């Protein structure tokens, strides 16, 4: 009964490189959320996706950041041309359905991204 799986757990990139973070939701869950956590802070919402659809990307920077949740495979959060300020822990959560049905979100253990 696997929970939300994120990989890699730790990722180190140099400035200007690309970072790809993966999230496999819990079995039976079709809704995925990405959050970012800076040190000593709470999580901040980035994007909410269903299979093949972005529902809400209001928390995601307009440039360099993109997210997808294809029909097959994990959800991907992609950060292009990374900068030092992108260093953070990125968490993925999943739920069986969306907000209208009041389904709780269950989180993975995150990817810690460090930019050199």
Give the residue with the Cβ less far from other proteins, 35 or 82. 35
Q: What is each CA distance from 62 to 42, 65, 67, in whole angstroms?
A: 21, 7, 11
Tell me the CA end-to-end span of the chain in Å, nearest whole number: 36
Task: Give yes or no for residue 4 binding other proteins (CB under 8 A).
Answer: yes
Task: Give yes or no for residue 76 binding other proteins (CB under 8 A).
Answer: no
Q: Which of 20, 76, 96, 109 binds other proteins (CB under 8 A)?
A: 109
Stated length of the chain: 116
User: Which has the closest alpha carbon to 10: 19, 18, 2?
Assistant: 19
Span 12-31, contacts to other proteins by CB under 8 A: none
The residues of the shown chain that bind other proteins, judged by CB under 8 A, are 4, 6, 33, 35, 41-45, 48, 55-56, 58-59, 91, 93, 95, 98-110
């Amino acid at each position: 009964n696997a929970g939300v799986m994120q990989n890699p757990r730790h990722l180190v990139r140099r400035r200007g490189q690309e970072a790809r973070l993966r999230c496999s939701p819990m079995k039976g869950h079709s809704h995925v959320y990405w959050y970012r956590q800076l040190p000593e802070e709470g999580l901040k919402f980035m994007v909410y996706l269903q299979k093949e659809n972005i529902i809400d990307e209001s928390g995601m920077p307009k440039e360099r950041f993109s997210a997808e949740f294809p029909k097959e495979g994990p959800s991907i959060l992609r950060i292009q041309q990374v900068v030092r300020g992108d260093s953070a822990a990125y968490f993925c959560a999943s739920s069986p359905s969306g907000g209208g049905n009041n389904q709780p979100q269950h989180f993975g253990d995150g990817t810690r991204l460090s930019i050199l």
